[in-house]
Amino acid sequence: MQITNSAVGRKLLMAITGQLMVLFVIVHMLGNSSIFLGANGINAYAKHLHDLPPLVWAFRFSMLAFILVHAWFGIQVSVENSAATPKKYSVQKHLRATLSSKSMIWTGVIIALFVIYHLLHFTVHAIPGVVTGVDAIGRFDVYTMVVNAFQSGLVPVIYIAAMIAVFLHLSHGVGSFFQTLGWNNANTLPKISNTSRGFSFVLLLGYIAIPVVILAGILK
């Protein structure tokens, strides 16, 4: 059977594309944190990124490819898995599965919806109310756009909720990657699982720090 049909091959493709997206998620969090340096920090960062259009587009197309491959197989295996279990137990006790491992498809779908919303919001600027202007030295003013969006209302709630979905997805996903690639053994498996959860939690804190700090009025 082809890798794209195989029970193991598809997991491998999902694990690799998932992990590549995790690398992005780490870099994106560090980049976003330049907001704590003030308008100068994040506006300069954003300008540097966009000064290289071919690279920006190459990067965008790769990310699109990763998420499409990942989501395609994610949906496919999830549909097969529930079809393989047509009748549930009346009483069932899970011994090892977690909320995070059992909700991968749902947290995945939430992430996909969020990515669409997020792009429409801060990249395409198509969400009503988004503030697009330039700063004193003529750079696109990312700082004001973000601070304005997160000061009140539903927007910060959407972002925080989405980051919780990412946290749940990666709590299982990152550790799972090591098992799917076979980069572990009986001894390292529990350590990898715990590190994966801790890592995802640090990401969560890093991401939600921005809306929280803005809501609290510390960044304005």
Q: Which does 147 bind (CB under 5 to 8 A by kind): other proteins, ligand HEM, none?
A: none
Length of the chain: 220
Q: Which is nearer to other proteins, 99 or 119 (CB)?
A: 99
Six-digit token string for 124: 């395409």
Residue 18 binds ligand HEM (CB under 6 A) = yes
Dist CA 152 CA 171 (whole Å): 29
Dist CA 48 CA 30 (whole Å): 15
> Considering only 66-74, 92-100, 157-165, 211-219, which stretch makes contact with ligand HEM by CB under 6 A?
66-74
Dist CA 154 CA 110 (whole Å): 16
Instruction: Tell the smallest beta-carbon distance from residue 120 to ligand HEM (Å).
Output: 16
Out of 51, 53, 54, 86, name the contact with other proteins by CB under 8 A.
86
Out of 4, 6, 152, 194, name the contact with other proteins by CB under 8 A.
6
Q: Backbone phi, then psi, for 95, in 5-degree steps?
A: -95, -30
Q: Which is nearer to other proteins, 175 or 211 (CB)?
A: 175
Half-sphere exposure of 209 (CA within 13 A, CB side): 14
Residue 123 binds other proteins (CB under 8 A) = no
Q: Which is nearer to other proteins, 89 or 128 (CB)?
A: 89
Whether residue 10 contacts residue 70, with contact meaning beta carbons closer than 8 Å, is answered with no
DSSP 151: S
Out of 23, 92, 128, 133, name the contact with other proteins by CB under 8 A.
92
Out of 33, 40, 151, 184, name the contact with other proteins by CB under 8 A.
184
From the list 149, 189, 198, the residue with the least C-alpha distance to 170 is 198
Chain residues that interact with other proteins, rule: CB under 8 A: 1, 3, 5-12, 77, 80-98, 101-102, 104, 172, 175-176, 179-186, 189
